[in-house]
Each structure stands twice: as structure tokens, then as C-alpha cells.
Structure 1
Amino acid sequence: MTIRHLTVFAAVAEQGSMSAAAKHLYLSQPTVSQAIRELEAHYNGLLFERLGKKLYLTERGKILLPHAREMIRQFQQLEELMQNQGQSSTLKLGSTLTVGTCLTPSIILDLQKKIPYLDVYSFVTNTQNIEQKLLRSELDAAVVEGEIHSPDLVVLPIIDDCLVLAAGKKHPFYRRGRIHDQELNNQKFAVREYGSGTRQLFEDYTLRHDLKIRTAWEANSPQALLNAVLYNQMLSVMSIRLMHHEIRHRSVRVFCNEAGEWNRKFKLVYHKNKFLTPAIFELEKILHTYQQLELPSVMGVLEQE
């Protein structure tokens, strides 16, 4: 059994067929099939079963897959470390959409000032997708706003953040100083897509307080939601870090949650078996410089009845 066998096995498991794995790895299909046969012979049992046109992992295959991924990841890290004389020149950094919009560009600039040779690959998506990419070793580390569920990932809460309710000038809430949570019932909202940490936090809140909002807009772009607030009389709940310009120019009115239920932390996340390169250590230091949250001097308040 070699790292090549494990690489082919992981590709077949992820792609769902020999032909797709062969295309992904730039190998011939017979080469892929042969590698799987050799691996099954080595472990004395089938790793895949075919249902229709797709391959599915057997119980034996499900046991092997996470270990195979980890060995592939460690091998890749060893190669990178040796080729770069002990220093990683590339950091694959994941960010959730809120973080990617308001912080990631500055964080990358700070990283490259500290480590001039560092080449950063940035991938921005929602928390759910980031978690899967970390587990598949497709990212070295990530900064997320949502909840991470896998016990195989290390989660370090660092940066303070909070959600606020935003209302544009044409919305009746704009001139209010205080509103009650029950006034949110039947209001039109612009919300993030499923898999978003922001959406999950707000949905948990509405369930706890038995609120029935109307989802009129849904988007995976914070700017699209902000535009819905500014121009379409929608309400939205999003990070206050996304609206500093609009708050200063009074184009939106924001309301903080009086009970602090919308307070949260942006978190540094990486695999528990990850070799922590100098770039990841430096990333953690830089994140601490963004820890404090700047709040506007005037905010409305959302209170509970």
C-alpha cells in the first residue's frame, strides 16, 4: 500500500466513479481500477459497492477514508516543508462570507507584510462548506462566523462580532429608538442562504421567541442583502462590521439585541492533526489585532416583550 493507492481511493470516494476519479487525477481508468483492486487485495475486502452507475463506500471503505485523507494531507505537508526548506510558502485560507467581506482582504495584507514570501489562496463561502473543505484537507485554516460541528476541527474564538437589525430610511422602523421583538412578526426580511452562520443564529433566535418573519429576499451576498435594506424596504440581520459606512452616513438605522443574543465570535479553525506552519501561527496573532468591535455611538435597541 502506497500514498498513490490512498490518493486514488480518496478520489474515487469523492468523485463517485472510477471514470470521474481518473479524469480528476489525470490518469487512465484502467490505472485507477487497478489501484483499487490492489488496495482491496491488501486489506482483504471490498472498499466499494456499485449501485446503479455510482460507487458507494462499504463499511470497510468508510473506516479507511478519514485515515487515507489524513495520510495524504501529512504527505503533502511533508513535501511542501522539505521543498521550501522548512517554511510553507502557501496558505490556503478559508473565510465565511461575512469575514471574507469585511476582514479577509486586510488580514491577507497583514500576513504578507509579516511573511513576504507567503502566497495566500483565499476561498470564501458559508460555514457549512468551509467545514467540509477543512475536513477534506482542501484548506489549511479558516476564519468563520458560524458553528463548527466536527470534533476533528480545532475552534479558537477570537474576534468579537454582533448581529444587528438594519432598517433603511423608507422603513417605518428607521425613526424609532426602540422596538419590541414581537414587532418583527410578519415583517419582510432579506436573509442569508442555508449553511450560513448568520442565518443559523437568527433562525435560532426566531424559534426561541416564536417569531414568524417573511423571507422576501435570500442571497449569499452580504452586499445584496444590504441593498435590499437600502432600496427595497426590507429588514435584515447582519454583522455590524458590514455597515460602518452606511451607519456613519445614516443611510441605515441599526438596532442591537438588548439581551445580547446576537453577540458572537469569529473563530480560527483548523484540523486537529494539522501541522501548524509559521503562517498559521502568524495568522492567529494577526486575528487578535482585530479582536475589538467598534460600535456606533447611537444605536436603536431591540427589546423583548
Structure 2
Amino acid sequence: MTIRHLTVFVTVAEQGSMSAAAKFLYLSQPTVSQAIRELEKHYNGLLFERLGKKLYLTDMGRLLLPHAREMLRQFEQLEELMQNQGQSSTLKLGSTITVGTCLTPSIILKLQQKLPDLDVYSFVTNTRVIEQKLLCSDLDAAVVEGEIHSPELIVIPVIDDCLVLATGKKHPFYSRNRIHVQELNGQKFAVREYGSGTRQLFEDYAQRHELSIRTAWEANSPRTLLNAVLSNQILSVMSIRLMNHEIRHHSVQVFRNEAGEWNRKFKLVYHKNKFLTPAIYELEKILHSYEQMELPDNIGILTQR
């Protein structure tokens, strides 16, 4: 079994016929058919069955396909790495929206200072989409705040973060330094979109404490939510890292969760079969430099007592 055999197998599976695969690979149809026969002999079983004019994967073929794709992807990465030694390389970096807003620009700057020839492609969206992009190899690595569910992905917690309750000067909570969780009942909130790690963490919290909140704003932009807090009599729960300027200038009052239920970690994520390049190793080192987080002295308290 060789890389050539796997290339032919994956192409036949994707094209649906020997003739289409042969055309796609610029090979003769007998050459493609022979490669599939050799692969089936090697694994002692059929990989395709014909129904009408189209080929369909057997159970053995469905078992082989994702592993074959991964091996081809790793081979391509190895070829690129070895052929581009001393030349520019590319890192496709995903970030969830909170991370992309408050950390990714400085992370990329530090990466390119360490690796001047590195070309970084940055893709920012919510946790759910990032997870799918990693599984499909559309991204090399990502930094996320939400929960990753696939066992195919490696998750390394690296950066401390916490959500806080934010209120602007127009809200009665602004002049307080302590509020009780049940005071959130019936309050208007600006919240993130579905698929966001921030939203999931807050919704889980609200469910545990049987809170009934009113969603008045919904957006995938933290800045939009923060502007709603600043200009309207409305609350929001978001990362404290997004409000450094506003906290210093006293335009918002923030409350930390006394029980630590809103504490979390930003995580480095990549596929378990990912060929780890120097750029990914350097990325992990840079992320650890952001690990610690200091809370302001005048922060308020959200209590359950």
C-alpha cells in the first residue's frame, strides 16, 4: 500500500466512478482500476460496490476513507515543510470571536516577529464553526473559549479568562458594588449568538440558578454588545479582557461571579493527527505568555448568598 494507492482510492470515492477519477488524476482507467484491485487485495476485502452506473463505498471503504484522507493531508504537509525549508510557510489560525477581538492581533504580531517568513491566515467565528473547520483541515490550529466536543481534536487549556456582568451608567446596578444572583431575574440582556462559548456558559449558569432573563440584543460582535451596555439600560455577560479601556475610565461597572462559575480557559486546539509545524509550537509558547490575568481592584461581586 502506497500514497499513490490512497490517492486513487480517495479520488474514486469522491468522484463516484473509476472513469471520473481517471480523468481527474490524468491517468488511464485501467491504471485506476488496477490500483483499487491492489488495495482491496492488500486489505483482503472489497472497498466499493457498484449500483447502476455509480460506485458506493462498502463498510470497509467507509472505514478506510477518513484515515486515507488524513494520511494524504499529513503527507502533503510533510512535503510542504521539507520543500519550503528556509522559505515562507503558512499558518491557518482560527480564533473564536472573543479571542479574535482581544488577543489574536497581538498573537499574530508576536508570531511574525519570531518567524518573519510566516504567512498567517486568520479566521474568526464562533466555537461551533471553528470545531468543524479543524475537523475538515480548513484550519491548522485555533484558540477558542467554548467547549470542544470532538474526540478527534486535541485541547490544551492555556490562558485564564473569566466572564463578568457588565452594566453602564444608565443602569441602577452601576452604583452598586454587590448584587445577588436573583436580582438578574427579569433583567434585559445583550447576548452572543448561538454557537458562542460565552453564550453557552451564561445559559448554563442561568439554567442552574433558574433565572429568567430577557434577551433584548443578540449579536456576534462583542463590541456591539458593549455599545448596547454603554448606551442603554441593559446588562451583558462577556470576557473581562474585552473591557480594559472601559473599566479604567469607569464607563462600565463589572461584577465577577463570587463562586467562580464564570472562570474559564482559552484553549489551543488542533487535530490529533495534525503534523505539528514550528509555527504551531511557537504559537503555543506565545499563548502561555498571556496565561495570567489580573482583576481590577474595584470590581463588584455577584453573590449567591
- TM-score (norm. length: structure 2): 0.84
Deviations 1:186-208 (A, max 9, x none): 11111111111111111111111
Is the Cα–Cα contact under 8 Å of residues 157 and 267 in structure 2 kept in the other structure? Answer: yes
Which residue does the alignment assign to 2:281?
281
Alignment of 1:32-71 (within 5 A): 44-46=46-48, 59-60=59-60, 62-71=62-71
Which residue does the alignment assign to 2:112?
112
Deviations 1:126-182 (A, max 9, x none): 111111111111111111111111111111111110000001111111111111111
Is the Cα–Cα contact under 8 Å of residues 49 and 58 in structure 1 kept in the other structure? Answer: no
Identity between Structure 1 and Structure 2 (%):
72
CA distance in 1: counterparts of 2:275 and 2:232, whole angstroms: 48
Is the partner of 2:287 in helix, strand or coil?
helix
Larger Rg: 2
Which residue does the alignment assign to 1:142?
142
CA distance in 1: counterparts of 2:150 and 2:295, whole angstroms: 32
Q: How many residues align?
A: 286
Which residue does the alignment assign to 2:160?
160
Check 1:96–1:293 CA distance in 2 against 1; reply closer, same or farther (3 A cut).
same
Is the Cα–Cα contact under 8 Å of residues 88 and 278 in structure 1 kept in the other structure? Answer: no
Query: Post-superposition shift, 1:294?
Result: 2.5
1:190 paired with 2:190, answer yes
Check 1:160–1:59 CA distance in 2 against 1; reply closer, same or farther (3 A cut).
same
Is the Cα–Cα contact under 8 Å of residues 81 and 87 in structure 1 kept in the other structure? Answer: no
Is the partner of 1:250 in helix, strand or coil?
coil
User: Which residue type is aligned with residue 222 of structure 1?
Assistant: P
User: Which residue type is aligned with residue 283 of structure 1?
Assistant: L
Which residue does the alignment assign to 1:21?
none
CA distance in 2: counterparts of 1:9 and 1:125, whole angstroms: 33
User: Which residue type is aligned with residue 163 of structure 1?
Assistant: L
User: Which residue type is aligned with residue 98 of structure 2?
Assistant: T
Is the Cα–Cα contact under 8 Å of residues 48 and 61 in structure 1 kept in the other structure? Answer: no
Check 1:6–1:220 CA distance in 2 against 1; reply closer, same or farther (3 A cut).
farther
Is the Cα–Cα contact under 8 Å of residues 179 and 303 in structure 1 kept in the other structure? Answer: yes
Query: Post-superposition shift, 1:68?
Result: 3.0
1:243 paired with 2:243, answer yes
Which residue does the alignment assign to 1:232?
232
Is the Cα–Cα contact under 8 Å of residues 111 and 283 in structure 2 kept in the other structure? Answer: yes
Is the Cα–Cα contact under 8 Å of residues 6 and 72 in structure 1 kept in the other structure? Answer: no
Is the Cα–Cα contact under 8 Å of residues 94 and 141 in structure 2 kept in the other structure? Answer: yes
Is the Cα–Cα contact under 8 Å of residues 155 and 270 in structure 2 kept in the other structure? Answer: yes
User: Which residue type is aligned with residue 172 of structure 2?
Assistant: P
Check 1:47–1:199 CA distance in 2 against 1; reply closer, same or farther (3 A cut).
farther
CA distance in 1: counterparts of 2:209 and 2:104, whole angstroms: 33
Query: Post-superposition shift, 1:82?
Result: 2.3
Check 1:40–1:47 CA distance in 2 against 1; reply closer, same or farther (3 A cut).
farther
CA distance in 1: counterparts of 2:49 and 2:237, whole angstroms: 46
User: Which residue type is aligned with residue 119 of structure 1?
Assistant: D
Which residue does the alignment assign to 2:43?
none
Is the Cα–Cα contact under 8 Å of residues 92 and 141 in structure 2 kept in the other structure? Answer: yes
Query: Post-superposition shift, 1:70?
Result: 0.8
Is the partner of 2:274 in helix, strand or coil?
coil
Query: Post-superposition shift, 1:232?
Result: 2.3
Query: Post-superposition shift, 1:45?
Result: 4.8
CA distance in 1: counterparts of 2:153 and 2:142, whole angstroms: 11
Is the Cα–Cα contact under 8 Å of residues 191 and 237 in structure 2 kept in the other structure? Answer: yes
Q: Which runs of 5+ in 1 are unaligned?
A: 19-27
**RMSD across aligned positions (CA):** 2.8
1:5 paired with 2:8, answer yes
Check 1:195–1:174 CA distance in 2 against 1; reply closer, same or farther (3 A cut).
same
Check 1:239–1:6 CA distance in 2 against 1; reply closer, same or farther (3 A cut).
farther
Check 1:262–1:156 CA distance in 2 against 1; reply closer, same or farther (3 A cut).
same
Check 1:212–1:40 CA distance in 2 against 1; reply closer, same or farther (3 A cut).
farther
Query: Post-superposition shift, 1:245?
Result: 0.6
Check 1:207–1:79 CA distance in 2 against 1; reply closer, same or farther (3 A cut).
same
Alignment of 1:285-296 (within 5 A): 285-296=285-296
CA distance in 1: counterparts of 2:243 and 2:129, whole angstroms: 25
CA distance in 2: counterparts of 1:92 and 1:56, whole angstroms: 33
CA distance in 2: counterparts of 1:242 and 1:290, whole angstroms: 14
- TM-score (norm. length: structure 1): 0.84
